[in-house]
């Protein structure tokens, strides 16, 4: 599942790069929790939680159905 998540994150990184941010994959647990670190402009943006849930999590769940949740660490 980790490889599928990494592949899907490439699309996310392209979207975030347009705003000066990025995302790093930290871990993927066996129970479908994806742990990421928002970097660049996304790391300090007040809208980062919305980006995380409505953007990153939504796209990852579409691309990798085994993903249950995405959390920032």
**Tell me: the pLDDT tens digits for 61-72?**
999 999 999 999
Q: Is the pTM above the cut of 0.75? A: yes
Bridge partners, 71 (sequence order): 35
Query: How far is 23 from 37, CA to CA, in rounded Å?
Result: 6
Tell me the pLDDT of the chain averaged across its residues.
92
For the chain, helix (H) and strand (E) counts, in that order, are 3, 3
The CATH superfamily holding the domain 2-72 is Fe-S cluster assembly (FSCA) (3.30.300.130)
Which two tokens mark 67? 């993903």
DSSP state of 30: T
- The neighbour count for residue 25, using CB atoms within 10 Å, is 15
Length of the chain: 73
């Amino acid at each position: 599942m980790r490889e599928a998540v990494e592949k899907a994150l490439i699309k996310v990184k392209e979207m975030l790069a347009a705003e000066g941010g990025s995302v790093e994959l930290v871990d993927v647990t066996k129970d479908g929790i994806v742990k990421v670190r928002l970097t660049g402009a996304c790391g300090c943006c007040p809208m980062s939680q919305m980006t995380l849930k409505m953007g990153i999590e939504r796209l990852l769940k579409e691309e990798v159905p085994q993903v249950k949740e995405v959390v920032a660490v």
